[in-house]
Amino acid sequence: MLDDLSRLTPSLTSLGWTSDHDQWADSVASDRQIARGRIGRVSRGYCVVFTGGDAILAASASIRSNTGTAPATGDYVVVEDDPDDGPSLAAIADRRTQLSRRAAGRYPEAQVLAANIDHVFVMDGLDRDVSLRRIERQLVVAWDSGALPTVLLTKSDQVTDSEQRVAEVAAIAPGVDTIAISSTEGTGIDELRDKIAPGNTVALMGLSGIGKSTLVNALSGGHVQRTGEVRATDRRGRHTTVTRDLIPLPTNDSHIQTADEPVSFIIDTPGIREIGLWQAYDGMARAFPEISEEVDRCRFANCQHGGEPGCAIQQALAENSIQPRRLEHWNDLMADLTLQEEQLEDLDRRSESRDRADAERKERGERRSKKNNTTGKRRSR
Ligand SMILES: Nc1nc2c(ncn2[C@@H]2O[C@H](COP(=O)(O)OP(=O)(O)O)[C@@H](O)[C@H]2O)c(=O)[nH]1
Ligand SMILES: [Mg+2]
Ligand SMILES: [Zn+2]
C-alpha cells in the first residue's frame, strides 16, 4: 500500500503541493527540517507523510500541544528531525477546507476528519430505508467543510425504484447533485469519475456497510481498500475500518503520467453512527437555504418563530414554501448548536476563573517569597 502510494505520487506537485506551500514551509523552516509533504494517514502518535519520494513516518505527539492543531489526513506539513523523537511533524499549513465533526465525548471539542478536500460524497444505501434526516445532517457537515457535497445512493442494483428514491432525496438536497450508483455493476461510476478533476480530493461519508470501500475500489480500479467481505480484524477480533487513508486514484486513461501531474485522492472514513455538528452555522445555511433565507426576513432579529408578529417563517409555512418536517429538523439542529455554544462559554468561564485563581495563587506565592528573599526583584505596578 505505501509502495503503491509512493509510486502513484512521484512528486510534491503531484500531491497538490503549491508554490504557496513552499513559501509557507520556507517561513517555518529550521535547520532541522527534513521533509515536506501531505499526510496520508493519522495513527495514534504518528502520521504517514507522502513526500513525493518515499513515504515517511513522523511522530505527531507534540504538534497538538505546540500548535493547538491536531493533524488530519490531507494536511500539508513540514517534518523535522527531532533530537528525541526522530522525524516529527513540525508545522501544519492552513487548510483550504476541513471536514469537522464534534468529537465523541462529554466536552465539546472538534475533530477534523479530513483536510484540504474538494468534494464530500454523502452516501446512503438504497438496500435499506434511506433516512432523510440523516442525509440532511450529513449535508450540513459536508457543506460546512467548504467542499462541494454530492449525495450518492449506493447499491442501485438492489432496487427497482431508484429513480423515485433519488427524486425524494434530491428534494431535500437543494443545490446538490443526487446520484444512484452501483459499484458492483459499474452504474454511475464514470459520471462520478468525471466529477473528480485531476488533483481533487474527495472524502466519503456514511454509515458502515453502505459500500464506501467498494466504491473506493471501483474508482481506484484496484483493491486498495478492504470491504465488508474481507474485513480487517484487529487484535480484539472486531471488524472495523478505523483509518482514514488518502488513497490515490490512478488516471483512468492509459497515458503515461508525468511526475508533476496532479493526482486525485479519495479518503474513506470509518462509518460514524451519528455525526455530531461542530459550530456548523454556515453548513446549516447551505443545507437549509429556504429556511435561513426566511429567518433573515423576520421582523425581530431574535424572533423565535413561535407566533411573533412579522415572522417570515410562520408566513412561509402558511404558504407551504417551507416544509414542516424540514423546519422541525432545522430547529432540532439549531438547538444542538446553541447548546454547544453554551457549553463552550461555560468551559471558557471555568478556565478563566481557573486562570484567575492560578494567578492569585502565584501572586500570593511571590509575595511570600519576596518576604523571604530581600534581593528579590520588585515588580513594577
Ligand atoms: N449489491 C451491491 N452490493 C454492494 C455494492 N457496494 C457494496 N456492496 C456490498 O455491501 C457490503 C458492504 O460494503 P463496504 O464497501 O465494505 O461498505 P463500507 O462499510 O461502507 O465500506 C459488501 O458486502 C459489499 O460487497 C453495490 O453497488 N451493489
Ligand atoms: Mg469500509
Ligand atoms: Zn420568525
- List alpha helices for 253-323, DSSP H: 281-287, 289-295, 312-318
Which whole number is the average pLDDT over 329-340? Answer: 95
Atom nearest to 217 CA in ligand 1? 15
How far, in Å, is the centroid of ligand 3 from the Cα of 296? 8
| pTM metric for this prediction | 0.87
Question: What pLDDT, on a 0 to 100 scale, did the predictor assign at position 1?
Answer: 52
Residues of the chain above pLDDT 90, percent: 64
Question: What pLDDT, on a 0 to 100 scale, did the predictor assign at position 377?
Answer: 38
> In the structure, which protein residues have their CB atom closer than 6 angstroms to any atom of ligand 1?
154-155, 157-158, 182-184, 208-214, 227-229, 271
One DSSP character per residue, 66-120 reads HHS----TT-EEEEEEETTTEEEEEEEPPPS-EEEEEPSSSS--EEEEEES-SEE
Question: pLDDT-based confidence at 218, cuts 50/70/90?
Answer: very high
Phi and psi of 257, rounded to 5°?
Answer: -75, 135
Pocket test for ligand 1, best of 121, 122, 181, 214 (most atoms within 8 A of CB): 214
Q: Which three cell numbers stand for residue 201?
A: 480530493
Which whole number is the average pLDDT over 257-264? Answer: 83
User: Which residue segments constitute the domains of the chain, with CATH numbers given?
Assistant: 2-92 (2.40.50.140), 98-104+113-267 (3.40.50.300)
Surrounding ion ligand 2 within 5 Å at CB are: 212-213, 241
Cα separation values, 136 from 120, 172, 223, 323, Å? 13, 7, 31, 13
pLDDT, tens digit (0-9, with 9 covering 90-100), for 1-56: 555 566 677 789 999 999 999 999 999 988 999 999 999 999 888 999 999 988 89
Which of 257, 139, 249, 123 minimizes the C-alpha distance to 194?
249
Q: Are strands 46-50 and 110-115 parallel, antiparallel or unpaired?
A: unpaired
Question: What pLDDT, on a 0 to 100 scale, did the predictor assign at position 360?
Answer: 84
How far is Cα 80 from Cα 86, in angstroms, rounded to an integer? Answer: 8
pLDDT, tens digit (0-9, with 9 covering 90-100), for 270-327: 777 788 999 999 999 999 999 999 999 999 999 989 889 999 999 999 999 999 999 9
Pocket test for ligand 1, best of 134, 227, 230, 272 (most atoms within 8 A of CB): 227
Which whole number is the average pLDDT over 241-265? Answer: 75
How far, in Å, is the centroid of ligand 2 from the Cα of 241? 5
Cβ contact 204:266 at 8 Å: yes
pLDDT, tens digit (0-9, with 9 covering 90-100), for 169-183: 999 999 999 999 999
